Amino acid sequence: MAQFGSLSDRLTETFRNLRSKGRLTPSDVDGTVREIRRALLDADVALEVVKAFTAAVRERALSDEVNRALNPAQQVVQIVNEELVGILGGQQRRLEFAKKPPTVIMLAGLQGAGKTTLAGKLGKWLKKDGHTPMLVAADLQRPNAVQQLQVVGEQAGVHVFAPEPGNGVGDPVKVAKNAIKAAVDQQYDTVIVDTAGRLGVDAELMKQAANIRKAVDPDEVLFVIDAMIGQDAVVTARAFQEGVDFTGVVLSKLDGDARGGAALSVASVTGRPIMFASTGEGLDDFEPFHPDRMASRILDLGDIMSLIEQAQSAFDEDEARKVAEKIASDSFTLNDFLGQMQQLRKAGSIKGMLGMLPGAKGMREALDNFDEREIVRTEAIIQSMTPQERELPKLLNGSRRLRIAKGAGSTVTEVNALVNRFEQAAKMMKTVARGGVPQMPGMGPIPGMHGGKKQQQGGKKKSKVGNPAKRAALAAGAAAAPQQAPQGSGLGLGGAAKGGKAPTEEELASLQKFLGR
C-alpha cells in the first residue's frame, strides 16, 4: 500500500515509543494522540475527521479498559485500530443484486478518476464470480471514451454495448435506456453504465448524471474517486452525494505514491461505504474493500486473510499435491519450478503480497528494491531450455548454458546462478518433506537435528609443521587437550580442570614467545 506508506510509518513509530512503558500516564496518552493527529493531518485526512478520531481515541485510552490492561501499549494500538475501522466504514458492504435481473450499476465521478478502466475491472471480477455482465458506453463526450471502453471490455472478456460513436455524438440517457432492454433480450444479468466525467464539478455533469439515474433506476451507484486528489476528495464526494446520491465508493489508484489520506475521510464524511479498491493498472488489480483489513495494513499488523484469498484463487490444490509428492520422491524438476513461478505470478503482485505480512514496513527498503521482472527473466531462462534439459539439469554443460543464455537474452553467469539456486532449493525442500531440518547455506548443521552431515570421527589429516620447536609444542598441547576438555565448558573451551589451576598470564606469554609469535 504505497498510498498509506507515510501514514503507516508515522503511526508505527508512535506506537513503538509506547512499548517500553508499563503504565500509561495522561501525558503519555496526550503525546500519543498529538502524534496521531499530526500523522493524519500530514496524510491529508479531513480536519473534522481527525478531530473526531483523536477525541475518541483519547477518551478510550484514558478509560478503565486501558488502566486494567496487562499491556497498555497494545491496548492503545487496538483502540486506534478499531477507531480506524470505524472511519473506513465499519463493516464491509457487498453489492446488492436485483431480485429480477438485470442488476444495474452506474459509475459516476470526475474525469480522470479511472471510471472506464474500473468498469472493465468490475466486469471481469463479476464474470469470475459467475455473472454475465455487460458494459455500457454512456460517456459520449470525452474523446475516444467509447473506443477505450471497447478495448477494455475486449481485454476483460466482457460484452460492450456501444450504439453511438461518441466524441460528442449521441444521447447518453437514450443509450442507457436501450442498454437495459438489450440486457433483458440477450440475458445479461448485470449492466455497468460508464458515464461522462468532467475536470471539475459543474451543473451540466450533475444534471446529466441525475438524468441517467432517473432513466435507468440503478440498483447501485458507485462513486469512483481518485485516492491521490487530496483534500478536494471530500468536497467532490459531497457534491456528488447531493447531485447523484451514490450508494457506495470505489477508491482508484491506491498504488500511487501520494499521501492518500483524504480517501480515509470519504466514508466518514458522506456516510457511504467504500466497497471496492483499485490497486494497480492491470484488470486484475481490483479487490473488495474490507475496512478491518485496510486498518490492519495501515497499522502494519498485516492482512493475512487477503493474502490467503489471493493464494487460494491462484493455486490449484491437486497441482500442489502432485508437486509435494515430487519433492518427497526427489523428482522435482525445472518444469515444476516453472509451473510454481507461473502460479505465483497469477496470484498478483509479489511485492503487494509481501506487504500484507505483519511487520512488512520493517522490510520497506527491501520491498522497494525488489524487482518483479526478475521472475520474468528466470522464466525466460527456463523456457530457453529443451524439455530434456528441464528434466535433467545435469545435462547442462558449458555449450548448452551458453546457448540458453543467448536464447533468454541473459548471461551464462545468470544461468549458472539459477541452476545452483534450483539445486539448493530442491535439496532443502526434500529435507523438509522428509521431516528434517535443512542446512542453510553459510551455516553449520543445527545441534540435535537431523539433516546435517555426520561429523567425521578421524577428522581431516593436518599438514606437518616444519618448525621442530612449534611441532613439539603442538604435540604437547594435543596430548593435554583430551584430558582437559571434558573438565571445562560444554564446548571444551575455558574453565579450569577440576583439582588444577588455569594457566597464568606469565605462562601464556612464555608459550607465545616460545612459539615465536
Q: How does pLDDT run across 478-492, given as a tens digit for each residue?
A: 554 444 444 443 333
* pLDDT above 70 (res 15): yes
Residues 163, 26: Cα–Cα separation, whole Å = 66
Residues 191, 234: Cα–Cα separation, whole Å = 28
- Which of 165-179, 221-235, 402-416, 494-508 is predicted least confidently? 494-508
pLDDT of residue 481: 46
pLDDT of residue 230: 67
Ramachandran category for residue 225: left, alpha or beta (phi over 0 → left; psi -120 to 50 → alpha): beta
User: Looking at residues 277-306, what average pLDDT do you find?
Assistant: 75
- Distance, CA of 370 to chain centre: 12
* pLDDT above 80 (res 26): yes
Confidence band for 121, pLDDT divided at 50, 70 and 90: very high
* pLDDT above 50 (res 203): yes
CB 132 within 8 A of CB 190: yes
pLDDT of residue 441: 47
Residues 124, 121: Cα–Cα separation, whole Å = 5
Give the three-class secondary structure for 145.
Answer: helix
Q: pLDDT, tens digit, for every residue of 467-516? A: 555 565 556 555 544 444 444 433 333 344 444 455 566 665 665 555 55
Residues 355, 362: Cα–Cα separation, whole Å = 10
Mention every residue, 6+ apart, whose C-beta is less than 8 A from residue 411: 405
User: Looking at residues 227-253, what average pLDDT do you find?
Assistant: 82
CB 414 within 8 A of CB 377: yes
User: Looking at residues 389-403, what average pLDDT do you find?
Assistant: 89
User: Looking at residues 188-209, what average pLDDT do you find?
Assistant: 81
3-state percent helix, strand, coil for the chain, nearest multiple of 5: 55, 10, 40
Confidence band for 442, pLDDT divided at 50, 70 and 90: very low
Q: pLDDT, tens digit, for every residue of 313-338? A: 555 666 666 766 766 666 778 888 78
User: Looking at residues 99-122, what average pLDDT do you find?
Assistant: 90
Mention every residue, 6+ apart, whose C-beta is less than 8 A from residue 269: 46, 48, 49, 234, 237, 238
Confidence band for 123, pLDDT divided at 50, 70 and 90: very high
pLDDT of residue 218: 92
The pLDDT mean for the chain works out to 75
pLDDT of residue 75: 78
pLDDT of residue 487: 41
- 356 against 429, higher pLDDT: 429
Residues 224, 275: Cα–Cα separation, whole Å = 10
Q: pLDDT, tens digit, for every residue of 41-79? A: 887 788 888 888 889 888 888 877 666 655 777 778 888
- 19 against 439, higher pLDDT: 19
C-alpha cell, 366: 527491501
- 124 against 489, higher pLDDT: 124
C-alpha cell, 115: 471510471
pLDDT of residue 254: 76
User: Looking at residues 118-143, what average pLDDT do you find?
Assistant: 92
pLDDT of residue 185: 92
* pLDDT above 60 (res 410): yes
- 189 against 263, higher pLDDT: 189
- Give percent above pLDDT 90 in the chain: 18
* pLDDT above 50 (res 213): yes
pTM greater than 0.75:
no
pLDDT of residue 86: 84
* pLDDT above 70 (res 305): no
C-alpha cell, 422: 534450483
